[in-house]
Amino acid sequence: MMNQSPIETALSRALIRWSLTKSTAVAETPRSWIFKVEQNGRNFGALKILKPLAAAEEGRGGRLLQYYAGDGAATVFDIHGDTIFMEWLGGPTLGAPARNGRDDEATAALASLVANLHRPRPDRPDDLQPLRERFEALFQADIRAWPHTARDLYARASGIALNLFDKPMPAIPLHGDLHHDNILSSDRGWLAIDPKGLIGDPHYELANAFRNPYGAVKLAADPKRINAMADTFSSRLGLNRKRILGFAAAHAGLSACWDLTAGNSITADLAILPHLLSAYDQA
C-alpha cells in the first residue's frame, strides 16, 4: 500500500475520531482543505484541515467561532490539532442579494449579524490578535511601492488609521474579515465563517463590507451606497458614523498594502478608496 500524504492521514484520522462515514473534497484554499462529511448518513458537517503556514491564524479563527457558539456564526463541534469539525453551510453567500439589486437588504443583514457577534459572552479566547498589530502592514509600507498618482491616498489612509488608534475604544473580540462572501445562508439565518480572530475597536468590524461583495467595484465605489451603509451601521449598532468610515478607508489602504506585497493588482481599492476618504471628510 502506498504511503498516505499528510492531508490523507489527517482526513482518515478525523473520520475515525468523529465517526464520520463519507467525505467529499470541496475546496482547497491557500490556507486549508475543506471536506464535506457525513455522520450516520444523515447529518452533514464540514472538516477544515489547516495548512501549516496558516495554522496559527486559522486556529485563532476556529477558537473565536467556538466562542460565538453558533450565534451569528457557523457552529464548531470540535477542534483537534489543525482540524476543525464544524457545521456544513451549503447556502449562497450574502454577496448574491448585494450583486442582484438587493444591496440594502444585504447591508441590513450585515448589521444584524454584527449585533449578534458583538454580544458580550464569557470566556473569550486569550490569543486574539490586537487590531493595531493587524495594521502593521499599512504603517510599515514603503510608499514607493504605491503608484505615483496614489501616494496621497496611502498617506491619507495611514494618517486616518493612526488617528483612530490614538483615540482607543474599549476592545472586543472581532471576526476581522466580515464581508458578504464570508456570510452564508442557512436554515438558522445568515451565518459568518472564516474569522481572523482579532481584538479591538468594534467600528473596524464593518470596514471590509464597504469594499465588497467581491467583483462589485462599481457598487462599492458609489458614494450613495457608502453613505447609506454608514447610516445603517451607525443607527442600527449605535456606533460613531465617522469612525466607521475612518476604519473603512484605513482598511482599504491596508488591503492595498497586502496586495502590493503579494504582487496583486490594487485597481479595485484605488477605485473605492477616494470615495471612502471623501465620505470620511464629509462625516
More confident residue, 117 or 91: 117
**CATH architecture of the domain covering 6-87:** 2-Layer Sandwich (3.30)
**CATH architecture of the domain covering 95-282:** Alpha-Beta Complex (3.90)
Which pLDDT score, from 0 to 100, does residue 114 have? 98
Which pLDDT score, from 0 to 100, does residue 111 have? 98
CA distance linking residue 189 with residue 97, whole number of Å: 14
Closest CA to 50 of 21, 23, 85: 85
Sketch the domain layout of the chain as residue ranges: 6-87, 95-282
Determine the average pLDDT of the residues in 64-79.
94
Q: In DSSP terms, which residues pair with 46 in a beta bridge?
A: 36, 86
Show the cell assigned to 192. Answer: 459568518
Q: In CATH terms, are 6-87 and 95-282 the same topology?
A: no
Q: What is the pLDDT of residues 113-167, one digit of tens each?
A: 999 999 999 999 999 999 999 999 999 999 999 999 999 999 999 999 999 999 9
Residues with a catalytic annotation lie at 177
Burial (Cβ within 10 Å: 0-12, 13-18, ≥19) of residue 129? middle
For 216, list phi and psi in degrees, rounded to 5: -100, 60
b/e map 83-97, b = 16+ CB within 10 Å: bbbbbbbeeebbbeb
Q: What is the pLDDT of residues 197-238, one digit of tens each?
A: 999 999 999 999 999 999 999 999 999 999 999 999 999 999
Burial (Cβ within 10 Å: 0-12, 13-18, ≥19) of residue 77? middle
Which pLDDT score, from 0 to 100, does residue 2 have? 58
Would you place residue 58 in the very low, low, confident or very high pLDDT band (cuts 50, 70, 90)? confident
pTM of the model: 0.92
> Average pLDDT of the chain?
93
Which pLDDT score, from 0 to 100, does residue 90 have? 84
